[in-house]
Chain A
């Protein structure tokens, strides 16, 4: 069976529920703010089902720092990517959580790319990795995925132009080998595909697999969907297999990758629930709503059950034609920003948001 997509509903749900309830109890004990939030909002600490496990909105990590280990145990701080002026999430990892994250990433990817380190192209510039202790989502993603490859080649220059000569050399050098490619969806589209089209470049990576993630928001604005993305990459760069993944910096261990059928899958130690965007009540499979993500991994901060601002649909459980078990789902996009009126300017005179 393809670990970690091998547990069926009955065994997985019990295992998850026990683990999540333990994590809730752990954070209640070690995090005063988390304890206050649950107690003062009158939530059941121990859920009787996955849907009943208390959750925090992802946005909360932008408003406050939440950490469940002594400050000196924090080895890594992850921050979410945000456009200038936006608040960013801060996620605190201790050694244990950080190593669980690395291990989980290896496990969820193994069924797709195998156990061997492949020659690897990263569609980004090396300069995003400068600060080793505080990583942006981009940096953390790259470092995480870099573990699957060898002979890493960063295909973008600092000005985001493509190093075409370097790429050609890399392909010649690894001729006949399977190549692993990694990058962020929008960066690949904007900087690689567009430049290739503009300059009339075509490349053939041969036996190759691209793993990409980071959201479709900007591509949706340009009316590019998953299928168009895949086909374009196949025709322009000759990439044979293209797999999207969904994940967020706020929840360590929740990396959901696309199977051969194009469905995002939940591994054994993570799950998703879809909720009504207004009432937050759980929705049945097939209905679109807000995605809640669950993961057994976060112990250094209370992120084991999070309500995201993404919308999506669960298509089924244990019965995806690809053969992997677990829930499989798709992501539709981000809920639109709240549009509010009022006496104060939304866009203040001279910039900046007023209180």
Chain B
């Protein structure tokens, strides 16, 4: 490869490795240099796993030389959100000072699967402490400080998979793994101007990932394109007996799927959105209207946010019971995280069960509505990246409306976010395509088509572009 591997898609890098234009060791060294140089500046990295990465890269290189090419991720470096267990003495901090020395004797399933695909673990990436589950309201809720958007260091990368978004957007890793309980993959994808996929609940094993809310947590990729997200999902999806919620359905990435060419927009979804977010979304809709019939739809009047919030609060209260009972929250960084775990101990069992019962009603009714469409579309977030020092009101503890996020996460529906423009301040905005359960290929095919005819995802911050050789 005569050009730099920085800001090349996984697919492009994979082809270069396969054709031996560049070696896994060369690529890994390029990205290690980037991580060392920019990681601390953007607060996007917790641990650079240089020794392991070079060892894995050399191993991959030897396999490829011997003709044992494993596929598009073989020899490609990646970063993992620091809530994924990694063996070998590599810390897994869950983004919190309290756990800075925490280590595991095993790898998370997703880390094992990526190793089997030949991918190279190059860094553990920054995150909001305890995946934001304690009700943080500020970007500074992390052991590594506020993670910055590649597009403006005075704005936030989003959360809670902050480092996964920022590192991909800064060109420090070709792809990363994040997690989402409610918004934690899509928010950084939006703020960092990259693509992010929240897979169907159960598509990817959660074994070895910090549990915040067992029936809401999902793991998924962040990358430069929707196409890359599909390649990565194929590598990490699959049944795992250690995660009883993991699905038996086999996933093979395939963009050539049958589509109805119909998209839905939930009425009122643009209410209270930032003006420029609305404007970019309307422009995207006009473009999509060339290929799709787009209809505004009503959804049943159900307490979507309240259901998701109640499930999250009740499950996290149990997941962090010992942490709460010992008063360990006082060691967290964000002031609101220090009292966050206590009020939720008052969620009544009957209210939690009621939320689970309404969840079933929501699942059936939304499935009926969504079966008329290939996907529901909406702006990924209601604002672009917020200022790094600003407080915000989170979905988990607040009362803000977010039907797409609440229903999508409560029902475990897949959604892919891709960039769809910039604000006058040059901050990226995103559009999300949310599909029915297990229909990742459909939403990825639509998002990939969108990206074939737009170049938002090919734009990168000028100050982060690799310097060309004189």
Query: Do A and B interact with each other, yes or no?
Result: no
